[in-house]
Amino acid sequence: MNEGSLDIAEVARRSGLAPSALRFYEKKGLIVSAGRNGLRRTYHPDVLERLELITCARDAGFSVAEIGRFLVARSGDPDLRVRMAARACALDEQIGRLTRLRDSLRHAAICDHESIVECPDFKQAIGNEPAAGLVRSSHRDRLC
Amino acid sequence: MNEGSLDIAEVARRSGLAPSALRFYEKKGLIVSAGRNGLRRTYHPDVLERLELITCARDAGFSVAEIGRFLVARSGDPDLRVRMAARACALDEQIGRLTRLRDSLRHAAICDHESIVECPDFKQAIGNEPAAGLVRSSHRDRLC
DNA sequence: CTGCGACTTGAAGCGCGGTTCAAGTCAAGG
DNA sequence: CCTTGACTTGAACCGCGCTTCAAGTCGCAG
């Protein structure tokens, strides 16, 4: 067997993913196997890097299908570039939400209101506007 | 109908969630209905605020069950506080991942490597720790 | 050559987060 | 009164992202 290639079990071990997940990703076109040793898939070491990317994107809420589309992206595909830029903007918004949520959560862990959802600081960090009664639904910020 | 309470359809409209989702959340204990008008659920206006929180947390990757646990949190529950603090730290990590992913994506939409995944800048931004050198580092507070 | 065991496959199954459906109930309008 | 139509219910179903399973195949040690 080729010196540089990795057994599926080895890739699983080093990536922290189950072999079944690797086969699943391969079937979906997110990774490719370098060849076989008998029946066994072997992978180029670069696959580890790609798996890291995949895991990261999955954690970020990307679907497997979407990751697949991005992974085959070529510079000559303007549609895809547009989608990527849009996705980046969506990520910005999500990062904002997560940051506020984190701050609220961190506050909740130390605040002394009986019920944490009652805490005004908590609410304030989460919501953009408390819907106390005379709230017009705020127009979505179209910053992107 | 009580002046202050909202019909489920109204809540659905103003929250952007499907009525079925509202019933689902109610069944899971994430929201409570204020009462009924005939068979129809009515909700206190405060539910809108809570739904915003729920949606935000869902987007952040919290499961419905986990949100439910947090929502019933009382200040006298130290376990839950610990979980919240831990969750806040996890969010910090995720925010970091998302930020790197966003930067990579934004670069990908610009860069002229024929295959996006080939681009060294792209790879570099994804990889775990910014190793050295030319990293546009927002400084990471290691507090966890 | 004969196990053995770790892989292979396609198909079925699972948990999550809802949505859809069939059948029923109610409030209000004509 | 009867109809209309938006709601109600529980149960079935769905898509996703894998995991598990049964059955088969291979490399290698003995």
Say yes or no for a CB contact (<8 Å) between A91 and B100: no
- Residue A143 touches partner B, C-beta closer than 8 Å: no
- Residue A37 touches partner B, C-beta closer than 8 Å: no
Say yes or no for a CB contact (<8 Å) between B84 and A98: no
User: Residue B27 — φ and ψ, nearest 5°?
Assistant: -60, -35
* Sequence-separated (6 or more) residues with CB below 8 Å from residue A134: none
Q: With beta carbons less than 8 A apart as the criterion, state whether B125 and B108 touch.
A: no
ipTM for this model: 0.83
Rounded distance in angstroms from the CA atom of residue A44 to the C1' atom of nucleotide C9: 22
- DSSP code string of B44-70: -THHHHHHHHHHHHHHTT--HHHHHHH
Residue A110: strand, helix, or coil: coil
Q: Is the pLDDT of residue A12 over 50?
A: yes
CB within 7 A of nucleic chain C: A 7-9, 19, 23, 39-41; B 17-18, 20-21, 23-25, 37-39, 58, 63-65
Rounded distance in angstroms from the CA atom of residue B24 to the C1' atom of nucleotide D20: 29
Specify the pLDDT at position B133. 37
Distance CA B47, CA B55 (A): 12
Q: What percent of chain A has pLDDT over 70?
A: 83
* Sequence-separated (6 or more) residues with CB below 8 Å from residue B14: A137, B6, B48
Q: With beta carbons less than 8 A apart as the criterion, state whether A122 and A107 touch.
A: yes
**Domain residue ranges of chain B, discontinuous segments joined by +:** 6-71, 79-126
Other beta carbons within 10 angstroms of residue B96's beta carbon come to: 16
DSSP B74: B
Distance CA A74, CA A61 (A): 22
Rounded distance in angstroms from the CA atom of residue B20 to the C1' atom of nucleotide D14: 14
Specify the pLDDT at position A127. 56
**β-bridge mates for residue A7, sequence order:** A42
Q: Which residue is nearest to nucleotide C24 (CA to C1')?
A: B39
Say yes or no for a CB contact (<8 Å) between A92 and B102: yes
Specify the pLDDT at position B139. 44
Q: pLDDT tens-digit profile of B103-117? A: 988 888 888 888 887
B6-71: CATH topology is Multidrug-efflux Transporter Regulator; Chain: A; Domain 2 (1.10.1660)
Q: pLDDT tens-digit profile of B48-72? A: 999 999 999 998 889 999 999 999 8
Ranges under pLDDT 70 in chain B: 1-3, 124-144
User: Residue B57 — φ and ψ, nearest 5°?
Assistant: -65, -40
